[in-house]
Homo-oligomer: A and B are copies of this chain.
Amino acid sequence: MENVIGNNQPSRPDNIDQYIIDAMRKDGREAFAQIAEKLNVSPGMIRQRYNRLVELGYLKVVAVTNPLMMGMRTMALIGVHTDGHRLLQVAEEISKLDEVVYLVVVGGRYDIICEVFCRDHEDLLKFLTEKLAKVDGIRETESFIHLKIVKEIYF
């Protein structure tokens, strides 16, 4: 996802759009007809609004999976210190790794923070020593192994 801030936003979400967003946040497969009925409009209008929201990049409807159920038992946030001049390349390269589900460039003590899903400790160790290690320009990493996921807005 890119950090593009569009200055001109001709069509900002209105009440109907917001309702669609909220409904689909709960159930992404809710039928357009069902939403339309509650709003007392036609399903075609809902479908149209939905397509536009997707096109403009406001939302996507996707399946999100519970990592634990999918066999991922060792998850960690990793703070990364990089060599300054390679910061963005390092961010890109780490992002390509399958274990990485999330990566941000930040201000503060670390340059990059990313989240990884691994099967177990051995898998995490492999990730650190074989995959992350191959990325040029990483000075130091610090792993925060998850003990409990308390809130995750999608699941």
Residues of A within 8 A of B (CB): 1, 3-5, 13, 21, 24-29, 56-66, 68-70, 73, 75-77, 81, 84-85, 87-88, 91-92, 95, 100-110, 112-114, 120-122, 124-125, 128-129, 132-134, 138-155
Q: Are B106 and A65 in contact (CB under 8 A)?
A: no
For A91, give the chain B residue with the smallest CB separation. B150
Contacts known (A107-B76, A133-B87); A62 close to B150, Cβ less than 8 A = no
Please give 19 more A-B residue pairs, beta carbons under 8 A apart, in addition to A4-B68, A29-B61, A122-B147: A1-B155, A3-B68, A24-B62, A25-B63, A28-B28, A56-B69, A59-B66, A75-B104, A84-B132, A85-B129, A88-B129, A95-B151, A104-B150, A105-B146, A106-B146, A106-B147, A107-B108, A108-B142, A128-B147
Complex alpha-carbon distance, A20 and B35, angstroms: 24
Complex alpha-carbon distance, A81 and B139, angstroms: 10
For A66, give the chain B residue with the smallest CB separation. B57
* Distance (whole angstroms) from the CB of A146 to the closest CB of chain B: 5
Q: Are A133 and B73 in contact (CB under 8 A)?
A: no
